[in-house]
Amino acid sequence: MDTKSKTKEVLSSLLKVKIDELKDDVSLINSIGVDSTEMVESVIALEKSFGVKLSPKEITKNSTINDIAENIQSKLAK
Amino acid sequence: MGKIAITGIGVVSPSGIGKRQFWANIKSGRSFIKKITRFDASLYPSHIAGQIDDLEKYSHISERLLKKIDAFSHMALVASELALQDAGIDIKNEDPSLMGIFLGNAIGGWLYAETELRDLYLEGREGVSPYMASAWFPAAPQGQVSIYYGIKGFSKTVVSDRASSLMALGYAKKVLEKDKLNMILSGGMEAPVTPYALLCCNTYGSLSENNQNPNEAYRPFDKERSGFVIGEGAGIVVMESVDRAKKRGASILGLISGYGYSCDGVDRINCSGDGKELARAISMALSDAEANIEEIGYISLDGLAVGLWDDSEIKALEIVFGEYLKNIPVSCPKSMFGNLLGASGALDMIIALLNMEHGLVAPTLNLETPVLKGLNYVAKQAKEYKITKSLIISRGRGGINSVLVIEKHPAL
């Protein structure tokens, strides 16, 4: 599974939203109205799933799925 | 001094969800006390309770929100929605800054807290849900209901043990009297059927251990009483001024006309045995309602099924009502579904409203031989009575006394 699909799957399962609500190029705040506590949960869940260290400053409410997947991908490539 | 209209009722209880189902079960005198099956409670001295197993069927709450909240907030959200629907209120048409919430709770949301604390010790700090902080505390339901409906007016959560919700209703009345808000959602919620909360309730030492006969365990005022049985649920009503209710053509289900309160101040756990402070709270409520004792047509008893508490409750009534007490039907219908602790008073008030509406007094179960005779106990089955004013008593640990007077709206 590619990074983007896995990112969507992790967030969908964690936040109990449908996968198609998570838009590739729309921010999480605008697509699913994510709140700040959900963002804390999301960063921890993504770190666990991908085995990378992520900062809450890098992944925010204003990040899109594309942004998040690219960030993770670049860390995986290092 | 003001009378506040109740225009909507929301009930989530072991005896039913929604006021119709609830009333159908209450008037028939059916017990809903059962052995606890949610977890293995067999080693607890008392392992029976009034439980709600079908909340999801009536719930409008998304899975996304459910994972962030405890069961007691879920119950409050469902009861609030039922109350608003019953009142015919579309929240979109309301001014959010003129709506408030006054709820009562005694112990907080332990199902959530227990699970997360277990994970803290098993997995470390990253194992704990970030929602833990906002899920467990007693004011969480007030917060969740306010967020859900966008309510922004003056609101409070009252934590006064079992007297919490009746006290919340009393405070809501006082706030509406001052004309500071248009409407208030008020009542209480409690979810004590969890491993830790049940342990605390058992440690309190007043629970019935008649586990072999759950239906017969809770027997307030009876010679064979052995303590109370816990229950879970929520009771929430819509309160607004009579003028506003009339203006919008709402059905006025009853009026809250008097509120009284006092504390015994004699012990950390027990109440005072003389009933004097409870009598003062009753007199205060009657005076606030400008009601004579002869006008009271029903008394809802707190009925803890513990000698000191039951007997001092009757003493207080004798102090206030004297000889006239024997004329007034009295009952403790929570014997059917359990004592909802911080939500118990709200359920008692809702039953008293339904009693008045239907001209029927719901019974006390298991009252075979009253310890203190000479009262007009309504036992075993419902009895017909025309009631225009009712008195509701709710008491908390250490002798916190809370009393409401409610009455029928004259147009009814």
Name residues whose C-beta falls within 8 Å of residue B395's C-beta, 6 or more positions apart in sequence: B162, B163, B271, B278, B302, B304, B309, B313, B401, B402
Which pLDDT score, from 0 to 100, does residue B1 have?
A: 54
Classify residue A31 by burial, with Cβ atoms within 10 Å: 0-12, 13-18, 19+.
Answer: middle
Closest CB to B64: pick one of A15, A40, A44. Answer: A15
DSSP per-residue letters across B327-376: GSEEE-GGGGT-B-GGGHHHHHHHHHHHHHHHTEEPPBTT-SSBSS-SSE
Residues B284 and B263: their CA atoms lie apart, in Å, by 13
Asked if residue B12 and residue B131 are part of one domain, the reply reads: yes
Q: Give average pLDDT by consecutive 10-residue segment, chain B, 412 residues.
A: 92 98 98 97 97 94 95 98 98 96 97 95 90 94 97 97 98 95 98 96 94 98 98 98 96 98 95 98 98 98 98 98 97 98 98 98 98 94 97 97 96 62
Q: Which of residues 17-76 of A touch B (CB under 8 A)?
A: 17, 37, 40-41, 44
Specify if B217 maps to a domain: yes
Asked if residue B234 and residue B286 are part of one domain, the reply reads: no
Specify if B317 maps to a domain: yes
Asked if residue B86 and residue B11 are part of one domain, the reply reads: yes
What length does chain A have?
78
Domain boundary among B219, B247, B275: B247
CATH assignment at residue B232: 3.40.47.10
CA distance to partner chain B, nearest, from residue A38 (Å)? 8
Asked if residue B213 and residue B276 are part of one domain, the reply reads: no
Which three-class secondary structure string do you get for B270-298?
A: CCCCCCHHHHHHHHHHHHHCCCCHHHEEE
- Of residues B106, B133, B141, the one with CA closest to residue B117: B133
Residue B220: φ, ψ to 5°: -60, 140
- The answer to whether B347 and B108 have CB atoms below 8 angstroms apart is no
Asked if residue B44 and residue B164 are part of one domain, the reply reads: yes
Asked if residue B233 and residue B377 are part of one domain, the reply reads: no
Residues B378 and B55: their CA atoms lie apart, in Å, by 30
Residues of the domain holding B304: 260-407
Specify if B2 maps to a domain: no
Asked if residue B306 and residue B202 are part of one domain, the reply reads: no
Closest CB to B130: pick one of A15, A16, A41. Answer: A41
Residues B341 and B396: their CA atoms lie apart, in Å, by 8
Q: Is the pLDDT of residue A1 over 90?
A: no
Asked if residue B333 and residue B207 are part of one domain, the reply reads: no
Place of tokens 């009483």: B225
Q: Which residues of A touch B148 (CB under 8 A)?
A: none
B63/A contact by beta carbon, under 8 A = yes
Domain boundary among B184, B219, B247: B247
Asked if residue B143 and residue B24 are part of one domain, the reply reads: yes
Q: Which residues of B touch A37 (CB under 8 A)?
A: 68, 130-131, 134
Collapse the DSSP code of B222 into the 3-class scheme (helix H, G, I; strand E, B; otherwise coil) and give the result: strand
CATH entry 3.30.70.20 includes domain A3-77 = no
A1/B contact by beta carbon, under 8 A = no
Residues B192 and B340: their CA atoms lie apart, in Å, by 8
Asked if residue B227 and residue B277 are part of one domain, the reply reads: no
Asked if residue B329 and residue B226 are part of one domain, the reply reads: no
Specify if B168 maps to a domain: yes
B134/A contact by beta carbon, under 8 A = yes
Which pLDDT score, from 0 to 100, does residue B412 have?
A: 55
Domain boundary among B247, B274, B308: B247
Asked if residue B239 and residue B116 are part of one domain, the reply reads: yes
Residues B118 and B4: their CA atoms lie apart, in Å, by 45
- The answer to whether B109 and B135 have CB atoms below 8 angstroms apart is yes
Residues B330 and A58: their CA atoms lie apart, in Å, by 65
Q: Which residues of B touch A17 (CB under 8 A)?
A: 64
- What are the residue boundaries of the structural domains of chain A, listed by start? 3-77
Specify if B1 maps to a domain: no
Residues B104 and B342: their CA atoms lie apart, in Å, by 6
Q: State the CB neighbour count (10 A cutoff) for residue B357.
A: 17
Specify if B34 maps to a domain: yes
Q: Which residues of A touch B63 (CB under 8 A)?
A: 16
- The answer to whether A29 and A71 have CB atoms below 8 angstroms apart is no
Specify if B237 maps to a domain: yes
Helix H or strand E segment including B166: helix B164-177
Alpha helices in A1-78 (DSSP H): 3-15, 28-32, 36-50, 65-77
Residues B349 and B188: their CA atoms lie apart, in Å, by 11
Domain count, chain B: 2
